[in-house]
Structure 1
C-alpha cells in the first residue's frame, strides 16, 4: 500500500481494511457536514454535542460492518438516574441519525467536560444489528463502564463476541464553528477467520498486541483532520506491515425516515377508532420526530383514504 493525498477535505465517508498477516481488520470513518446537519436540529450544549458526535462516529464505524444494505445498526445508551436519560443513534445504508435526551439543569451543575459516569451514572449500552434479508437480530448489552463510549463499545465486543477490539474516537471544532469527528475501529480475528472458535482469540496474542499498539497512536489531531485522507491515515499507522488491503468505501449522509408518506403508512396500521382518538381538534395526528426535531401534522381523512 502506498501513501495518497487529496486536495479537498476528506469528510463523510468510511473505509475498511484488513491486515492479513496479523489476522486483523479495521474501519476508519470521518464526519463533517453530516455531523453539523444532525447537530443543527437541536440546540445542544457543548458537552452533549461532543457526546453525540462521538456516538454518531461510533455508529458509522459499526454500521458499515453490515453486509446487508437494508440492515440497521442501532446504538442506545440509557440510564434511569443520569444527566443523560437516553442517547440513540442508528445507521442504515450509509444514513446516520441520532439524538440525546438530557437534564439541562443537572448538566449545568457539573464541569464543562463531564465524565461518562457523570453523564450516565450506572447506565448501560445496547448495540443491535438487524439483518433485513435474513430477519436476524443480534443484540448485546453491557454496562457503561470506563471513561468513554469507546471503552464501553470495546467491552461489548469482548463480552458479547469474545473479540478483542480497539476503538479510538476524536472530535474537534473547526475555525468556522463546525465539527469534525473521526474514529478508528480495530479487531483481532481468529486465525484463519473462518471455521475457528472465537474463544481461541486471546487478548495477549502477540499479533493483536502489535496492531493495538499501533492503533493507539491515532489521536484526535489525525482522526479529525479533514486534510488527511483516510487512506493516508491507514498508511501512517500500518505502513511497516507486510500487506494492508483497503476495502470499498462507504459514503455517509444524514438520514431520517420521518417523511409524511412513511408516517402515514405507519398510522394506517392503527384501527380507525384509534386514529380518531389520536387526532386533534383540527383533525390532524401530529407526530413528533425526536431525531430531526420536527412536527408532522397528518390529516386523519388522508390516512383513511
Structure 2
C-alpha cells in the first residue's frame, strides 16, 4: 500500500527523531532536526564558530545513531580524540532523547587555522570510538575506527562499514543565522538478509537494493535538510516516493539533558578514600566539581 503524499508544512517533527523503513528494500533510516536543544548545549560554553559547527554535527549524529537502539536506559556515546590535534577531545552522548556534549581544544592553535578548518586539521591522526550501551555491562559494545574523511558523518559511515558490516549513508547539515545554530541529519542503512540471535548472516555492501536506496538518499541537499518549511516526513517522501511502501515511526523528542547533580557527585566522591577527598577540598573545606558538559560548579560538602 502506497503511503499518501504528506503536504509540505511547518515542521511538526522539529527537535524529534523520525524513523522510517522501506520494507521492499530491506532498508531503514532516521532523520532529525535540532534547533533549541542544540543552542542550549552550545550556550554552556563560549565556543568559536568552527567548534560550534563540529559539536553541532556530532550532536545530530548522536541523535541519529542513538535512536537506533531500544530501551529507556540505553545510551550511545561518541568520542573523537587525539593527542596531536587542535581538538583534544570531543564527547557527545544520547539517552532517551537527551543530548549532551562538549569539546576540549587548544584555542590559540585554533585561531591560527582560519575560518573553516578541515576535520584532519582539527584532529590530526585521531580516532572515533562509538559505544552502544543497552543497559547492562553484558550488552555494551564499542567500535573504534580512524578519524578519517571530510567530516564526522563520513567517519561514522566507516564505523558501520568496518565494525558492524552494515552499509550506511549519513548526511548532516549545519547552519548559523540570527536565530542561532541549527542542524539536521539523515541516516539510511541496509539491513542484513537474515539474523540468528546476534549473529549477522549476510550483509553486502554492494547489494542492488542498497545501491538503489543509497543513490536516492545521497541526492538530498543541505538546504532540504535544514528547511523548516519542509517537514521531515515530507522530506522522506520526496526522497523515496517511488517505493511501494514507506513506514514512518515518530521517535524520541530531543532535548538538552545533562545528568549532573550534587547527589550524583556525592555518590561518586563517596567512593574515594578520605585521604584523597581531603586533598580535593579547598580552604573552605568544600570540594568544588565543575561539569564539563553544562559548565556549572557544584559545591560538595563531603
TM-score, normalising length: structure 1: 0.93
The residue aligned with 2:251 is 249
Match of 1:14, SS state, is strand
Query: Which runs of at least 4 in structure 1 moved beyond 3 Å after TM superposition?
Result: 4-10, 192-199
Whether the aligned pair in 2 keeps the contact of 1:4 and 1:231 (CA below 8 Å) is: no
> Which segment is superposed worse, 188-197 or 93-102?
188-197
Match of 2:59, SS state, is helix
d(CA) in 1 for partners of 2:236 and 2:259?
Answer: 33
Match of 2:108, SS state, is helix
**CA offsets 1:137-160 (integer angstroms, 9 cap, x no match):** 110000011111111100000100
Matched, 1:48 2:63: no
- Cα separation, partners in 2 of 1:209 and 1:194, compared to 1, 3 Å: farther
- Cα separation, partners in 2 of 1:199 and 1:147, compared to 1, 3 Å: farther
The residue aligned with 2:19 is 16
Q: Where does structure 1 lack aligned partners over 5 or more consecutive residues? A: 301-305
Q: Which of 27, 32, 37 is equivalent to 1:34?
A: 37
> Which segment is superposed worse, 218-227 or 179-188?
218-227
Whether the aligned pair in 1 keeps the contact of 2:166 and 2:191 (CA below 8 Å) is: yes
- Cα separation, partners in 2 of 1:281 and 1:134, compared to 1, 3 Å: closer
Whether the aligned pair in 2 keeps the contact of 1:42 and 1:293 (CA below 8 Å) is: yes
The residue aligned with 1:84 is 87
Whether the aligned pair in 2 keeps the contact of 1:180 and 1:226 (CA below 8 Å) is: no
- Cα separation, partners in 2 of 1:117 and 1:78, compared to 1, 3 Å: same
Q: Which of 172, 181, 200 is equivalent to 2:183?
A: 181
Match of 1:226, SS state, is coil
Whether the aligned pair in 1 keeps the contact of 2:85 and 2:125 (CA below 8 Å) is: yes
Match of 1:273, SS state, is helix
The residue aligned with 2:130 is 127
**CA offsets 1:35-64 (integer angstroms, 9 cap, x no match):** 000001111111110000000000000111
d(CA) in 1 for partners of 2:66 and 2:170?
Answer: 14
Total equivalences in the alignment: 299
The Cα shift of 1:201 comes to 1.9
d(CA) in 2 for partners of 1:196 and 1:245?
Answer: 25
Q: Which of 276, 298, 301 is equivalent to 1:299?
A: 301
The Cα shift of 1:32 comes to 0.2
d(CA) in 1 for partners of 2:278 and 2:42?
Answer: 34
- Cα separation, partners in 2 of 1:134 and 1:108, compared to 1, 3 Å: closer
The residue aligned with 2:149 is 146
Matched, 1:158 2:174: no
d(CA) in 2 for partners of 1:113 and 1:168?
Answer: 19
Match of 1:200, SS state, is coil
Paired residues for 1:147-296 under 5 Å:
147-174=150-177, 176-192=178-194, 198=200, 200-296=202-298
The Cα shift of 1:213 comes to 0.5
Whether the aligned pair in 2 keeps the contact of 1:13 and 1:250 (CA below 8 Å) is: yes
d(CA) in 2 for partners of 1:238 and 1:232?
Answer: 10
Match of 1:231, SS state, is helix
d(CA) in 1 for partners of 2:200 and 2:107?
Answer: 43
Paired residues for 1:63-78 under 5 Å:
63-78=66-81
Q: Where does structure 2 lack aligned partners over 5 or more consecutive residues? A: none
